[in-house]
Chains A and B, each alone.
Chain A
Amino acid sequence: MMKWILLILMFTSCLNRDGKSEFETSVLKNIPFAVSVEGVFPNTNKDTEIKSPPNTWIRIFQALVMDESGSKTYHCLYYRVPGKENGILRHINSKESCNENYQDGEIRDWTGISGLKVWKPNFERKIFEKVLKPGRFYLTGKGEREDFFFEIPLFNLKVERKLERHSTAFSSNMLSGLFVSKKRDLKSKVNHEKFLGKFEDNYRDGTAIVCQEFSKDCKETTPFNCNNCRFGWYSAVGISTCGGQYTRFCGVNKCGQRGMPACPRGLDSAKRMELDNVMLCYDGSPLGYCETGLKTVCDGKILVCL
């Protein structure tokens, strides 16, 4: 009996020598809760083994995860490319960004790796009898004992979607309309996200907050931040000379009223109505429409109704 117990213990200790289960557990406990991922290895989805530069640590990605107390934690996956020795997959859990750092933080290594390939498909595809779905990372390769296929779901990240008639309204996350977070420790102090704008804000009073804006030469001067508007958002015709580049404001939409932004008509429709070929925001522009009796006027930033 004792002999069997010893054998089992020795066997499990051998299993652990490569750190596979610790690595996998540590990754699955954290990274699926990521709210953003950055610094993704450029050769992802290439179906080629990562072989160079040998003996060098390369970053596969960094994920930002909110922990049980609501604080930011950073999780990085690194890979030491095989040289004379086999490669190592490393998970780093750190309070600081690990984007440029493969040595600091809580480290879990999985050793004996070769032939690593990384996938983060944008559409469903089949590789060697395995289905790869969008919104997940996949690591495939050879371990010390066997080939592996490791799937890391990324529930909170956006995937591409096609919007058309009968499309559902669910947000385009890995699983439509689903968001996950670590079970929050209710005793911990919560850092409330700052939302933008008040209910009373409006363009006429100069209180409306811009949550996306483009310059005349089509550069995005305020990146899209409208999902943080507390009371919704709406589009207005700005000064950009590129179609589809609207200025967006937080708050209640009162377009068409005196002193408020004109209601956007759409470029194709405005073109049927003698839209200027160069300018979009100008007095009388048909790119917006107003209540009867008012006209569109470009106030230098926005097409408004006066």
Chain B
Amino acid sequence: MSYITKGRKVEGDVRVRNDYRRLYQSIELVQELWAGGLRDQVKEYLTLCPEEKTSSDKCSLKLLNCLSKSDHFSKKFAKIEVKKELVTKASFHEVNVPFSEAVEIDFLSGEAKASVYLEKGCEEIYLPKRMYALEDTTGRKYSWWDNFDRHYFLEKDVVTVGEVKLWLEYDTDFKQGDEILKSIPSKSKVDSPMLGLKFSEMERFCSFHGKQVMSASLFDAASMHPGDLSTDRMKFPLRSIWPWDYKKKTGVVWEHRSGKKKEVDANDCKKVFSLECLNEKTLDRSGVHTWTGLRAVLGGELEVFRNNIYPRRNLKASSFLFELKSRWHELGNRAYWDGQGFSIHNFNFRFEDPSSQHDSFGVAFRCSREVLR
């Protein structure tokens, strides 16, 4: 009799062990799809949502939802269920997940089960270790900083309406939350830039995610063309005014300023989304990618930074408020926003003031974070 019991126990152990092995294989596969996008081998499983077969997006929630609906995937690997998007340090969440934002998924394979958290890490770029020229240009010797012994990740793009809504679901201690939600226009899409937060609210958003509002020095470092990439310790400070080249007399803005080009076309708008581009409604406003992968560095929305040297130069004025040939469309040229409101008196545009055409403005922002390694 004891043999029978033992025999069944062994069969049970072997089955459970194999369930766990299959579970871990499926976790590995899902992570690969999350971090690397859709691979050819997996396309056959996506029978329920063929529209995803052509997508190469990384960190794609749609792709996870596809897998969760796929019978083929659940039979061959594990049954997965996408639970929720998390801002993970929110104190009421039951697991201390070491990421700032994640997607929670349940995995089930026979008797084996696990909760899996996938970090939303596709929208940040690493700032390469090197010397950078600071905004301070009063004397050459005071114009350096470097990050050889610190590591920074920067958000590629500005914070969206959807991200703010998700934050406020978690940050229930934040008193201004309801007011902010009410202020978001109903027609705003979740992927539209968030334009209605005061500076202290932006600080709250970023710090709630374990980050900081982007500083002007980090933004400049990641967006100004580095010139010579063969060395990380240049002899002379270089602050290029364009993201595409360190030379001044080149690129789309210079072509329009110099009169080489007269009409602003869709191609120009793809590089710098300026006033002339407002008719091109379907166009992506994020402009060129910089050498580090940062987007929306010229044109598009007004954007605020922490400026640790000149606090009254904290606003990227380069935006669709100005024509393409405007002086504002240069890296490092910044106006001022007091961070308190959105009326004309809250701004100071040192030159080419747009207040004759507008009575209020929206301001975008993005976050960055330091990591130990």
Which residues of chain A have a CB within 8 Å of any CB of chain B?
8-10, 12-13, 15-16, 21-22, 24-25, 28-29, 32-33, 66, 70, 153, 155, 161, 163-172, 175-184, 186, 190, 192-193, 195, 199, 224, 226-227, 229-235, 243-244, 246, 251-257, 263-269, 272-274, 286, 289-292
Contact = CB atoms under 8 A, between A and B. Distances in A.
B130 to A, nearest CB: 9
A256 B119 contact: no
A135 to B, nearest CB: 11
Contacts of B94: 70, 184, 186, 190
B69 interface: no
Contact of B3 (A9, A24, A155, A178): A9
Contacts of A166: 125-126, 293
Contacts of B209: 232
B113 interface: yes
A77 B207 CA distance: 40
B348 to A, nearest CB: 16
Interface in B73-118: 89, 91-92, 94-99, 102, 106, 112-118
A195 B91 contact: yes
Nearest to A269: B144
A190 to B, nearest CB: 5
A232 B131 contact: no
Contact of B121 (A169, A193, A227, A267): A169
Nearest to B308: A256
Interface in B322-373: 369-370, 372-373
A165 B147 CA distance: 13
Given A16-B6, A177-B31, A268-B233, A229 B149 contact: no
Interface stretch (B11-19, B264-272, B294-302): B11-19
A291 B115 contact: no
Nearest to B217: A263
A186 B106 CA distance: 14
Interface of B: 3-4, 6-7, 9-11, 13-14, 16-17, 20-21, 24, 27-28, 31, 34-35, 89, 91-92, 94-99, 102, 106, 112-119, 121-126, 128-129, 131, 134, 136, 141-142, 144-151, 153, 203-204, 206-212, 215, 217, 233, 292-293, 306, 308-311, 369-370, 372-373
Contacts of B208: 231
A229 B146 contact: no
A155 to B, nearest CB: 7
B98 A16 contact: no
Chain A binding site: helix, strand, loop or mixed by DSSP? loop
A269 B142 CA distance: 9
A266 B147 contact: yes
Given A28-B17, A253-B215, A269-B144, 20 more contacts: A16-B13, A28-B24, A32-B20, A33-B114, A168-B121, A168-B122, A169-B126, A171-B119, A176-B119, A179-B97, A179-B98, A179-B102, A180-B117, A183-B113, A184-B95, A199-B204, A289-B134, A291-B311, A292-B136, A292-B310
Contact of B150 (A29, A153, A170, A266): A266
A219 B278 CA distance: 58
Given A273-B141, A273-B144, A165 B113 contact: no
Given A13-B6, A183-B106, A266-B147, A175 B309 contact: no
B172 to A, nearest CB: 13
B28 A161 contact: no
A176 B98 CA distance: 12
A272 B147 CA distance: 15
A265 B89 CA distance: 30
B308 A289 contact: yes
A266 B145 CA distance: 6
Contacts of B203: 252
Contact of B13 (A21, A70, A180): A21
A180 B31 contact: no
B144 A292 contact: no
A272 B10 contact: no
Contacts of A25: 13-14, 16-17, 20
Given A12-B11, A16-B9, A178 B89 contact: no
Instruction: Report the 3 A-B pairs with minimum CB-CB distance, sorted nearest first.
Output: A256-B308, A177-B119, A266-B146
A246 B370 CA distance: 12
29 contacts: A9-B3, A12-B10, A15-B10, A22-B10, A22-B13, A24-B13, A28-B17, A70-B94, A164-B126, A166-B293, A168-B122, A171-B99, A176-B121, A178-B117, A178-B119, A179-B117, A182-B115, A227-B210, A234-B212, A246-B150, A263-B308, A265-B144, A265-B145, A268-B148, A269-B144, A272-B141, A289-B142, A289-B309, A291-B310
B149 A234 contact: no
Contact of A227 (B98, B106, B306): B98
A92 to B, nearest CB: 17
A130 B207 CA distance: 45
B7 A266 contact: no
A289 B216 CA distance: 14
Contacts of B292: 165
A229 B150 CA distance: 18
Nearest to A186: B94
Given A9-B3, A234-B370, A178 B118 contact: yes
Question: Which of A167, A195, A268 is the most central at the interface, judged by chain B CB atoms within 10 Å of its CB?
Answer: A268
Contacts of A253: 212, 215, 306
